[in-house]
Structure 1
């Protein structure tokens, strides 16, 4: 080993140790979670997506308000039921988006499974907005609604949840108020239309503009 190599060897070892520590810190989650980003604490506010083992039973989304200061029990609010076929259409895209958000915050990704799936309270609100929009939507329009939902900012989805949940946020409120508005806003976006010329309209390029009498020879 040359003199230079002898001098640089300890520095190389130290650099490897530093890199290893950096990788370890980067891979370590910000804090322990369960499901899709729900902190492992005493009764946190979150949502629960209940996926039955059967392939024909509907999927339920329930909001768990967490433990209140005046009692030891959580308050549960049923939010929406989705037909199994509709849930199958959105499950993977929603999981992908949720996990991208969790990864950005150094949190463990989640997976859908049969039974109860816990979802972070903000992600759960966003999921409810999508579920309310598509719960009674034609199958061929679900993809459109999903794309429009993905195009919204998280803050916009939170606002839409708040407006809907305070008035028509229960399963039996399907087809009313903000629930209906979400269906049409996401599933039936306005399409640009061109006005067809009326019968007798001038169509030749030279006839588009009429000459004022002042400029006629």
Structure 2
């Protein structure tokens, strides 16, 4: 008799960390929290995931996408934002019917989109005065997720390296926009306008947000 085929369903990995489901996409972010209270918290971006070993190695190297460190955050500043970020993310995960996440010592995976939002906030507070962190939290919370993703994408393209991009251009503008500019209320200015205002006062560091108008080329006529 021919061997009978197994009717058992293929098992899928359950989401880990904060909404990260490797079966949907292996692109994720990783928050590495060291055991020591004085060591910095690392947030890195990863494109690979192994069911046995998890995320790959974190790297500073240029030209390497997988495991690239996006920000290294002082432990005190991480502690100042960690609880509110956890509450915000879990509120949204619950709405999607997903399990809540917790911060633990070691690696904490996040879904691609939640990771972008966290990195944006970390960029805002990495060089900020600690007394301004509550303002940054309010302003970050006042942005829609889509606005956070937009700001992350623009900032990452220009100054996304954890070391080389720190305190420059878009990273610098993110800090000013979230720690000083009052965007955390119902009718805030959209991010592009906020950045245009910052660009006017810091033209050397900020990339242009205006699209140059196309110029017509004049044809030279040759008379016979």
Taking structure 1 as the reference length, the TM-score comes to: 0.68
Deviation at 1:66, TM superposition (A): 2.9
Structure 2 residue 160 is matched with structure 1 residue 174: no
User: How big is the alpha-carbon RMSD for the aligned residues of Structure 1 and Structure 2?
Assistant: 1.9
Contact 2:20 2:28 in 1 (8 A): yes
Structure 2 residue 63 is matched with structure 1 residue 81: no
Deviation at 1:42, TM superposition (A): 8.4
Q: 1:89 and 1:40 mapped to 2: Cα distance?
A: 29
Which residue in 2 is equivalent to 1:24?
none
Q: 2:66 and 2:40 mapped to 1: Cα distance?
A: 22
Aligned pairs, how many?
156
Alignment partner for residue 45 of structure 1, among 27, 30, 53?
27
Deviation at 1:40, TM superposition (A): 3.7
Which residue in 2 is equivalent to 1:34?
16
Contact 2:139 2:182 in 1 (8 A): no
Q: 2:179 and 2:40 mapped to 1: Cα distance?
A: 21
Provide the secondary structure at the position in 2 that maps to 1:102. Answer: helix
Which residue in 2 is equivalent to 1:117?
108
Q: 1:113 and 1:163 mapped to 2: Cα distance?
A: 30
Deviation at 1:167, TM superposition (A): 1.2
Q: Which runs of 5+ in 1 are unaligned?
A: 1-30, 68-72, 192-217
More helix by share: 1
| Alignment CA distance shift 1:42-1:154 (3 Å) | closer
Which residue in 2 is equivalent to 1:7?
none
Which residue in 2 is equivalent to 1:58?
40
More strand by share: 1
Taking structure 2 as the reference length, the TM-score comes to: 0.66
Q: 1:181 and 1:87 mapped to 2: Cα distance?
A: 20
Q: Which runs of 5+ in 2 are unaligned?
A: 1-12, 50-55, 57-64, 184-224
Please list the CA deviations of residues 126-153 of structure 1 after superposition, one character each: whole Å capped at 9, or x if unmatched: 0011000100000100000011000000
Structure 2 residue 159 is matched with structure 1 residue 138: no
Contact 2:31 2:109 in 1 (8 A): yes
Q: 1:43 and 1:166 mapped to 2: Cα distance?
A: 21
Provide the secondary structure at the position in 2 that maps to 1:50. Answer: strand
